[in-house]
Every structure is written in structure tokens, then in C-alpha cells.
Structure 1
């Protein structure tokens, strides 16, 4: 298999955030605008620090007076200074590629899309760099690939990316259609069966010995307030959205008190497998966040840390957050119709050694 990826520079390029003042914001002061609209980025004192540090311009001119009155039509730009992002792998293995799509084997520890501390060290960045490189060495314009779904930063395995707008819309529809018929048996209705066009199978290592050979989990997943997660944390919630996971036990290890499992998900809720396994009392081994019941290990939504980081933002929370790694979860196999030709595409990503059965490990050793 071919791989690609450029080593990360020590510091990223920083970011520019642009706002055009609307009539509804006219009359606000500069500090009122940023501290209210972007309170999840930094507290009041943090935005004061950024203003005094000349990181905000109005119509191209740096402004250091936080009480500057804003008027409709003004262009504001906040420049987030370059920073050293946390360590992340950079190599991606190509599993399948043609003119319409590329599937890569994402390593654990690499984020898919920009967010939080990871703005450059992402799969998207590596795809962009590769696309530019191919374009510069070719007479034709190479399409720019984009991921059509997400995997958690700590999750490894198959990530599907589209190279064209048509492929992107159709692949995204496969995921959406599957979620819309959550919980319906594959064999109970042929019409619904055709709607669920994509099969997603994962391998994972769960804590404890699961007695049943097969377990179905249909616990809804919703969001709650959680320090350090601006949009809220996904948890097991009776008022959440329908979610469906089928768990098959492959091996049980009594000595290590764990179970090697295969999980097929119909829906694709964020952190679904981590939440569902913890909900039934078997959280993933090494998961720093979710514990039995599908809830976070540390949960006090009213606790906030308003101390400032170097750039004026909030300090990284001391409690675990969804992007923390340490668990063993791998997107092992995907089966779906090609978005353009409609031919069946069956992709497999090689398993990490810890997620192989004894028979699989023996076969690799002997082969």
C-alpha cells in the first residue's frame, strides 16, 4: 500500500477570523462584540489581552482601544498567533483511490478536521498538501479531496474522502440515509435495506468479559454542557437521537478481564461506540473519558477555569475531553456502492496487533 504525508512544521501559521459588522451589532464596543459573540474562545480578560496585543484590526488598521464603537459595514479581523500544536502522526496509508474518491487508513492520534488546538495537524491538511503537490507536477487540475465523515482523534482506520462535489454529496447521503432508518433490521424490510447503503464495521477492545455472544445497543445519544467542550459533550441520554450498534464478541480474555469485539453501527452519532459500550458496562479499555453508563468520568457542568492561556484563551481543561486518546477502536471494514459507478466497494484496513484474534495473529506469523 502507498502512503503519503509531510512532516509537521514546529509552529502553524496562526489563523485569521473575519467578521463584517451588521446593523444589529452597530453601536457595540469592540470588547463587547468579541467577549459576547465569542465567549467560548476566550473570557473577557482574554479578549482585552488580544486587543491590547494588536491582534484585532478594523478595516485593516490595528486597534488597541477596547471601547472603540463599531459601525455597520466595518470589517474586523482577529489574528490568532501561531502556536505549537500537540504531537500527531503525519503519514496516511492509501487503501483505495480513483478519480472520485480516496480512502485512507487514519492513524490514532490524528484529527480529521481542524478544531481546538489542532488547526494544521489534521487529515484535511495532508490531503490539501498532497493535492497541491500533484497539481504542481501535472498539467491538469487535481481535484481537492475532503473527508465525508469523521473518526475520533483516538480512532484509527478507514476514512472516506471525496474528490468531487458529486462524489461528496452521494457519499454523505449514504451516511445520512443509514442514520435515518436506525434500529430497523436489515432483513425485515427490503426497501429500508436498500436505503442503508453503507456498512461500517469496527474492532475494539472492551473492559470486562461480555457473556453474550451478540449484544444490540439502542441507547439514544444526546448532548450535555461540559467544561472544555464548547458545543456540549455527547452522552447516553433518553432524550437524545436514536442510535444503533450491534456488538459481536470475537474473543474473551479472562486473565486480562477484557473482550475483543466487532461492532457494526447503523447510525453514526459522535463517539457512538465509546458511549454504547460504556452504557452497557464495558467501556473501551484505555478510554479516558467515558465510564459505565455512557457518562463522562468527571462531570460538573458548573466548573469552569477562567485562567488565561498564553494567547488569551482558556486554559486546556484538566478534565478529560473527547479528543483524548488511549482507547483501542479501529474502523476495520466499509462496504458501499461507488458514488459514480455504483459498483460495490469493499475496503479493509489492516488491524493493529492488539485488535487481532489469536487465529489472525497466528496466520500473520506463519504467512
Structure 2
């Protein structure tokens, strides 16, 4: 199958953060504004450094004076300086493509959308480069809406089928179908919907620690955010206060010698880290998962490593607080693969099945592996 990708440059382009001050905004110094709104980004001395560096603009003009005041109606722009992002894959294998859809095989370690330290080294960037590289600047602006856009996410450490829409209409239709699963209500009825009924069926392969005795089981533990030191918004975990979630787990192979079980997982909702959390909740965390442990909660044994970063260590180049590369125990290393995606084509209305061959660690005997 065809693959595409461009090697990453040493530095990204940095990030622009914009703030439009509302009509009710009281007059304030530029420094006070950033120190108040973005206090978790840098200390006062750091924001002073950024202003003096010329990294902040007011209404399109660079400001390098600490005594500048801003008021309602001003547009502020802060330019975060370019940096070298952590290593990431850059090649994507095309599994399916037509005028409306693109499905790629995402490698483990490849982030889908910008976030955290990964602002350029993402699947979205490679899609933009591929589908605009042959056009001039004006044409790029006209065709940017045609750049395939991911309609769902896979965790950075998860490999496999990633479906993208080439038009807004297709993305809207697929988003509606995905939302049906996200809004499911917990019930005691475990009827398996057909593709025609559910429209989107997602099948995963996973390798877990321990031997699962039962051949088939369902997990309906709610998933929601819980507080976690070092992570401002917290982390997703199994919690009674979370949103309804449902997974079906089928045992494919038991490895008594290595104390692990190969399973197939079908998810009926799309909560973040759902499979990792649900299998850990069941008492069988993914093999190699450094974050989620039995019970479906994140590991807290490394907390001491984060305390230093909460004491205000400053990045001298940028003026901001130094952040750990991995604020949580890890986003990769676990064995999880999006194996199959089955759905009704939103335009042709014909059933489609897209398959990404499994890594060797997740293959059954006789299967063709990646």
C-alpha cells in the first residue's frame, strides 16, 4: 500500500496565542494581564522577559515596553518561541482513499492533533503538507478545507486505523454517528448492534497482563476526569461520576507462560483512553502501560518526580516554567491497536470494512502481521 510523509524539521514554528479583550475588560497593564491569565505558563519575571524579547503584539504591533497598558477591544498575540519537539514517527500508510474519505494506519508514538509538546509533529500536519504541497499559497488557502481531517482520535501510543474526512459534509455525518455512541445510556441489555444499526463499529486488539478466565465480558464502568498532580486539567479514569461507557472484551489467546492474554475489544462509546481504563478496571491492565493500573486509576507512585517541577524551575530560553517531557508516567509503550473499522459510507451508503494489520505482538497464529 502507498505511504506518505515528510521528515520533521529540527525546530517547529512556535505557537501564536491570541486574546481579544472584551468590551467589559478593565484597563490593565500588559504584564498584569498575562501574569493573571497565564500564571501557570510563567512567573512575572518570565513574562517580563517575553515582552522585552518582542514576543508580544498589541493590535499587530510588537510591544517591548513593560509599562504598556491594554484596554477593551485590543487584540493581544503572544508568540511562543520555536522548539525541538520530542521524536515522533512521520510516515503514514494509506489503507483506503476516495473523493470523500481517507483512512491511514497510524504508528504508535504519533500524535493525531496538536497538544502539549507536540504542536507540529502530528498526523494533522502531515495531512496538511501532503494535500497542499503541490499548490501555491493562494491555492492552498482555497483548498485548505479539502485537507483530510481526523473524525476521531487515537491515543499517541495506539496504532491502527484512523479515519479522516475530506469534506465538511462527510465529517459532519460521521461525527453524528460517532456521537450516537458517545451519548449511549447504560443498560443491562448487551445486544450487539449490526453495522447497519450502529453505522460505526470499532474493533481493537490489546495485550493485557494476567490470564482472563472468562471468554467474553462487557465493561460498563463510567469514565471521567479526576484531579492529578502536575496535570492542570486532571486525567481520565474510572470514576462513578464519569460518563457512561461500554466495552466488549473477547479473549483470543491465553499465554500462560508469559502471564498475558490477547483480547479483542469492541467499544460502544468513545471516551478518552477507554480501553486502557476499562481493562485496568477489570484487573488486567495493558502490557507495558505505565499509567493505568488495576482499578482503572492512574499510577501515583512517581509523584515525587513531579514535585520538583511544581517548585517553579524556569526555562531560561523562554522564561516559562520548565515542564517535564512526560508529566504522567507515560503515553506510549502499551500494546493497543485499532484493528478494524466498519461503517456505512456517508455518501455511497455502502458498507466498508477497513483493516490495519496488527503488530506481531498482537497477531494470532497464521495471521499476516505488520
Asked if TM exceeds 0.5, the reply is yes
- Any conservation in 1 of the 2:110–2:122 contact (CA below 8 Å)? yes
Equivalent position to 1:257, from 245, 256, 259: 259
Give the drift of 1:231.
2.6
Matched, 1:345 2:349: no
Equivalent position to 2:333, from 316, 321, 326: 326
Matched, 1:292 2:294: yes
- Any conservation in 2 of the 1:289–1:320 contact (CA below 8 Å)? no
- Name the counterpart of 2:367: 360
Give the drift of 1:27.
1.4
- Name the counterpart of 2:153: 150
Listed one character per residue, the Cα deviations across residues 329-359 of structure 1 (whole Å, up to 9, x for unaligned) are 1000000010111110100001100101233
Listed one character per residue, the Cα deviations across residues 30-78 of structure 1 (whole Å, up to 9, x for unaligned) are 2222222223433444323322322112233333444532111222110
- Provide the C-alpha distance between the structure 1 equivalents of 2:285 and 2:43, rounded to a whole number of angstroms: 34
The number of residues matched between the two structures is: 360
- Provide the C-alpha distance between the structure 2 equivalents of 1:120 and 1:172, rounded to a whole number of angstroms: 24
Sort the Cα spacing of 1:33 and 1:347 in 2 relative to 1 into closer, same or farther, 3 A. Answer: same
| RMSD (Å), alpha carbons | 2.6
- Name the counterpart of 2:314: 308
Give the drift of 1:17.
1.7
- Provide the C-alpha distance between the structure 2 equivalents of 1:178 and 1:161, rounded to a whole number of angstroms: 18
- Provide the C-alpha distance between the structure 2 equivalents of 1:280 and 1:188, rounded to a whole number of angstroms: 20
1:1-80 mapped onto 2 (5 Å cutoff): 1-80=1-80
- Provide the C-alpha distance between the structure 2 equivalents of 1:336 and 1:155, rounded to a whole number of angstroms: 20
- Any conservation in 1 of the 2:231–2:327 contact (CA below 8 Å)? no
Equivalent position to 2:276, from 246, 271, 274: 274
3-state SS, counterpart of residue 131 of structure 2: helix
Give the drift of 1:195.
5.2
Which sits farther off after the overlay, 12-21 or 267-276?
Answer: 12-21
- Name the counterpart of 1:235: 237
Give the drift of 1:209.
1.0
3-state SS, counterpart of residue 25 of structure 1: coil
- Provide the C-alpha distance between the structure 1 equivalents of 2:219 and 2:282, rounded to a whole number of angstroms: 8
Structure 1 runs of 4+ with >4 Å offset: 138-142, 182-186, 299-303
Equivalent position to 2:208, from 201, 206, 213: 206
3-state SS, counterpart of residue 360 of structure 1: coil
Give the drift of 1:208.
0.9
- Any conservation in 2 of the 1:288–1:320 contact (CA below 8 Å)? no
- Provide the C-alpha distance between the structure 1 equivalents of 2:356 and 2:311, rounded to a whole number of angstroms: 40
Give the drift of 1:307.
1.5
- Any conservation in 2 of the 1:148–1:168 contact (CA below 8 Å)? yes
- Provide the C-alpha distance between the structure 2 equivalents of 1:305 and 1:293, rounded to a whole number of angstroms: 31
Give unmatched runs, 5+ long, in structure 1.
none
Q: How high is the TM-score relative to the length of structure 2? A: 0.89
Q: How high is the TM-score relative to the length of structure 1? A: 0.90
- Name the counterpart of 2:191: 187
- Any conservation in 2 of the 1:103–1:159 contact (CA below 8 Å)? yes
- Provide the C-alpha distance between the structure 1 equivalents of 2:132 and 2:339, rounded to a whole number of angstroms: 29
Give unmatched runs, 5+ long, in structure 2.
none
Listed one character per residue, the Cα deviations across residues 167-204 of structure 1 (whole Å, up to 9, x for unaligned) are 000111111012222545563889xx855221000001
